[in-house]
Amino acid sequence: MDLFTLKKIISALVMPMSLIVIFLILAIVFFRAKPNFSFKCLLFSTLLLLLSSIAPVSDRLMLPIENNFESFTRSTKPVDYIVVLGCSHITDHAIPVTSQLHSCSLQRLVEALRILQLHPEAQLITSGAALDDESSNAEKVKQAAIALGVSEDKIIVENFPKDTEEEALLIAPRVKGKTVVLVTNADHMPRAVKYFTQQGIDIIPAPASNWVKAAEQEKSWQYYLPNSHKLSQTTHVWYEYLGQLAQWLKTL
């Protein structure tokens, strides 16, 4: 097993839903043998599920990550490259290529196309390996961009990076000394910026698709109820905090 796969397995096991399921299983297994321990496991899993699913907690965790960078407006100088970091997709030839992209890849592509409208002089760089799919994420995003009207000669693909660190390593030699706009999801942007900065690239952040919107507006009573969307948001922010921890540990 390679380090990349091991990292993914460990991160999956410590996600909120995984911990909830693990502690529920422990509560069932030890229900008769250790009732006190079983009750504590049940209580922990219930509290974790509740706290992970309510907006006041999830938003408070997410905002410090998403609020690091403002949305992209327009560069004061010509843009050479718009780098679209990879995310995920599933190849299914029965549906349009835009529908094969998972939401994170589609959100990043849409933001990149918005920026391309502002800076038509730029070239797109799509990135991301194939992993378990027949097509790389870079190639799939390229296909979607072409389907949405971008000329093929405006797109460069980087088919091999498996994660953000590898993307920075492989893309840096091509874009060094150029004006580069970096597109990724807002919650992922702090880690991405740090990786590219470590490679000597002075990028312009273009965060896409913030989870938390209109944070200062008055909330209705529904805001305080548990919901699956906020559970997903907590999972993403949890993943990013773990990623930032791993990134920091590599600098020691």
Q: pLDDT at position 1, please?
A: 58
CATH T-level topology, domain 81-208: Rossmann fold (3.40.50)
SS3 123: strand
- Residue 49 in tokens: 């599920």
Residue length of the chain:
252
Rounded to whole angstroms, the Cα distance separating 213 from 231 reads 16
Per-residue tens of pLDDT for the chain, all 252 residues: 566 777 778 888 889 999 999 999 999 999 999 999 999 999 999 999 999 999 999 999 999 999 999 999 999 999 999 999 999 999 999 999 999 999 999 999 999 999 999 999 999 999 999 988 999 999 999 999 999 999 999 999 999 999 999 999 999 999 999 999 999 999 999 999 999 999 999 999 999 999 999 888 989 999 999 999 999 999 999 999 999 998 998 888
Are 62 and 230 within 8 A, CB to CB?
no
Which residue bears the tokens 């590898």? 166
Q: pLDDT at position 230, please?
A: 97
Rounded to whole angstroms, the Cα distance separating 93 from 109 reads 20
pTM for the structure as a whole: 0.91
For the chain, domain boundaries: 3-66+234-250, 81-208
Burial class (CB in 10 A: 0-12, 13-18, 19+), 241: middle
What is the sign of the dihedral through the CA atoms of 103, 47, 190 and 157? negative
Are 66 and 241 within 8 A, CB to CB?
no
